[in-house]
Structure formats: structure tokens, C-alpha cells
């Protein structure tokens, strides 16, 4: 059996930055709250809680506290509320997400209604939408394009969407509107993780995707990989059933942008143990990477 890890796996720049800011804030000795879970990974959220980062569910409940905004951002109204209520706000919104807020705001100023490609229920998209005017719409990749009454339109993407979905949406809109402004705001970390996981899936008998079940980018990896080979999505090594490895010679590991390295190592080691091997990995660097040149 060979086990290989997708070349781009695990924490992205925005998540690392948010965690770093949270850790620094806790070191100041004050209680720190994150508005919503800091990252979409329940085990890591628990770990952060034990280090002093508590999760708050609403901006209204926070007064005179230190509050960290997670990497996928919050709504404009929540941000204003936090400031109004005397909180010290540490803005760990990923700069790529903040950029979408600015583009949406500017598009409206320039007279373009905005259509967001993404999951309307996802906090990142809820945040993005709040920076637009009343006309701002959201469409998911599998939904029909809404009726557009305006002659001009600005299309912008949730950072974790697939480029093919954005392309498809643009093709559908071209006959419907006279003037189309398109921002490709899919972030590089997302496309890299998607590409390297897909390549690995093409060359594997089984893909194990590791990451939060609520993580949008991890779910997308699982969906993409399943187009090429059997795929299982797990959060921790405990969920890995030995039976899924049966008869599989080439095992691929992929992990979303909010998956900590130790989770990946734990899953790798569990596979080794199932195989009766004793020489376990001590860090992510010990896991062989899949070389993508052939894709």
C-alpha cells in the first residue's frame, strides 16, 4: 500500500493568520471571544477554547471585551455593533475576504447590482452580502440563475468556489445582461487545494479527505475527489473504518484549508497501524507528498 498526501493540504494563509492573532491576543492575559467558531474544525475550536478563546454566538452578547473576527468575516452590522458596545475588535478577516467586501461596496457605488456565486447560508457569503445593497443576490452553483432586471451586473465569487462554476455562471449570464463585470475572487489556496486533490484522486484507489464537516472548502474537496475515485470525508482518525481500506493499494490524503496538521498526521498513522506498521510519522513532513507533474 502507498499513502500519499496532496501537495497543497491543510491550513491556508488566512486561517494561520487568524489563529496567530487569536493566540497573541490570549497571551495578553485578557479573555478573548471569537464571534462564531474561529475555524470550521470542531476539534481545533475546542483546543483553542482550552487556551482561552471562547466562542460567542452573537455580537449583541459582547460588551467591553476583546473580540476576534474569524477568517471568513462577519457582517457589516455585526462589526458596527461590536464597536458600539465598547469591544476591542481584532480583525482576522482574511484579506482576500475583505477584498470581496470592498469590491461589492464599490460595484454598488458604480451602479452595478451584485450577484454572489456561493452558498447563501455560509457565514462568508452572509458577510459579503451585508456589504451590498438591497438588490444583492446569491446563487449557488446548482441553482438556476435568477431573473436579472438590470442591464448591468457585477458577479463575484465566494472565495472557496470552483472556477468551473464561475465560468458556467458567466456563460449563462452573458445572454441576459448587456454589461457584465466579473471578479474572480476564488483564492489561490482554494484552487491549489482543489487541483492537487483532484490530481491525487486521479491516481488513487481511495481518497480520505480530512477536515470539518461544516467546512465549505473541505466539502468541495470531497465532492471533487469523488468524481475520480471512492472518497470518504472524516474529521478525525477515529472515524476511519479499517474496512474502507480493504483492497485499496493507493491511498490519497487530502485536507481542507481549516484542517490542522496534527489531524492529518493522526489519520496517516492510523492507516499505518491498521497495516501493522510501527514506524509512525512524527510530523506532516514525514508523509510522502504526491508529485503532481503528471497531471
Catalytically active residues, by annotation? 124
- Nearer to ligand SF4 by C-beta: 113 or 118? 118
- Nearer to ligand SF4 by C-beta: 206 or 264? 264
Query: Minimum distance from CB of 97 to ligand SF4 (Å)?
Result: 5
What is the distance between the terminal CA atoms of the chain, rounded to a whole angstrom? 21
Measured between alpha carbons, how far is 25 from 65 in angstroms, rounded to an integer? 11
Query: Minimum distance from CB of 209 to ligand SF4 (Å)?
Result: 15
Measured between alpha carbons, how far is 95 from 287 in angstroms, rounded to an integer? 30
Residues engaged in binding ligand SF4 (CB under 6 A): 12-15, 71, 94, 96-97, 159-160, 187, 189-190, 217, 257
Query: Minimum distance from CB of 194 to ligand SF4 (Å)?
Result: 11
- The 3-state DSSP class for residue 31 equals coil
- Nearer to ligand SF4 by C-beta: 39 or 200? 39
CA 140 to chain centre: 16
- Nearer to ligand SF4 by C-beta: 96 or 290? 96
Query: Minimum distance from CB of 39 to ligand SF4 (Å)?
Result: 9
CA 287 to chain centre: 23
Comparing C-alpha atoms, which of 163, 124, 168, 121 is closest to residue 142? 168
Measured between alpha carbons, how far is 23 from 282 in angstroms, rounded to an integer? 24
The backbone torsions φ and ψ at residue 86, rounded to the nearest 5 degrees and listed phi first, read: 75, 20
Query: Minimum distance from CB of 149 to ligand SF4 (Å)?
Result: 31
Count Cα neighbours of 57 within 13 Å in the Cβ-side half-sphere.
0
Measured between alpha carbons, how far is 204 from 66 in angstroms, rounded to an integer? 46
Measured between alpha carbons, how far is 111 from 92 in angstroms, rounded to an integer? 30
Amino acid at each position: 500500500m502507498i499513502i500519499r498526501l496532496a501537495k497543497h493540504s491543510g491550513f491556508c494563509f488566512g486561517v494561520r493568520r487568524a489563529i496567530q492573532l487569536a493566540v497573541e491576543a490570549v497571551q495578553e492575559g485578557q479573555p478573548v471571544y471569537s464571534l462564531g467558531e474561529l475555524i470550521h474544525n470542531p476539534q481545533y475550536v475546542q483546543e483553542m477554547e482550552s487556551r482561552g478563546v471562547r466562542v460567542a454566538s452573537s455580537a449583541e452578547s459582547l460588551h467591553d471585551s476583546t473580540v476576534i473576527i474569524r477568517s471568513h468575516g462577519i457582517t457589516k452590522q455585526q462589526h458596527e455593533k461590536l464597536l458600539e458596545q465598547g469591544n476591542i475588535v481584532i480583525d482576522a478577516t482574511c484579506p482576500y475576504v475583505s477584498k470581496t467586501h470592498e469590491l461589492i461596496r464599490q460595484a454598488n457605488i458604480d451602479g452595478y447590482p451584485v450577484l454572489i456565486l456561493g452558498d447563501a447560508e455560509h457565514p462568508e457569503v452572509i458577510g459579503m452580502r451585508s456589504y451590498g445593497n438591497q438588490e444583492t443576490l446569491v446563487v449557488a452553483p446548482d441553482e438556476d440563475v435568477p431573473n436579472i432586471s438590470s442591464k448591468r451586473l457585477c458577479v463575484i465569487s465566494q472565495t472557496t468556489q470552483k472556477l468551473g462554476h464561475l465560468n458556467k455562471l458567466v456563460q449563462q449570464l452573458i445572454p441576459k445582461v448587456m454589461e457584465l463585470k466579473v471578479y474572480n475572487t476564488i483564492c489561490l489556496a482554494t484552487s491549489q487545494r482543489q487541483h492537487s486533490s483532484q490530481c491525487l484522486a486521479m491516481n488513487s484507489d481511495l481518497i480520505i479527505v480530512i477536515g470539518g464537516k461544516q467546512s465549505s472548502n473541505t466539502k468541495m474537496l470531497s465532492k471533487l475527489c469523488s468524481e475520480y475515485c471512492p472518497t470518504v470525508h472524516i474529521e478525525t482518525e477515529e472515524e476511519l473504518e479499517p474496512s474502507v481500506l480493504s483492497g485499496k493499494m493507493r491511498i490519497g490524503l487530502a485536507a481542507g484549508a481549516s484542517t490542522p496538521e496534527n489531524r492529518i498526521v493522526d489519520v496517516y498513522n492510523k492507516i499505518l497501524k491498521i497495516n501493522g506498521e510501527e514506524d509512525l510519522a512524527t510530523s506532516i513532513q514525514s508523509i510522502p507528498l504526491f508529485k503532481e507533474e503528471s497531471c
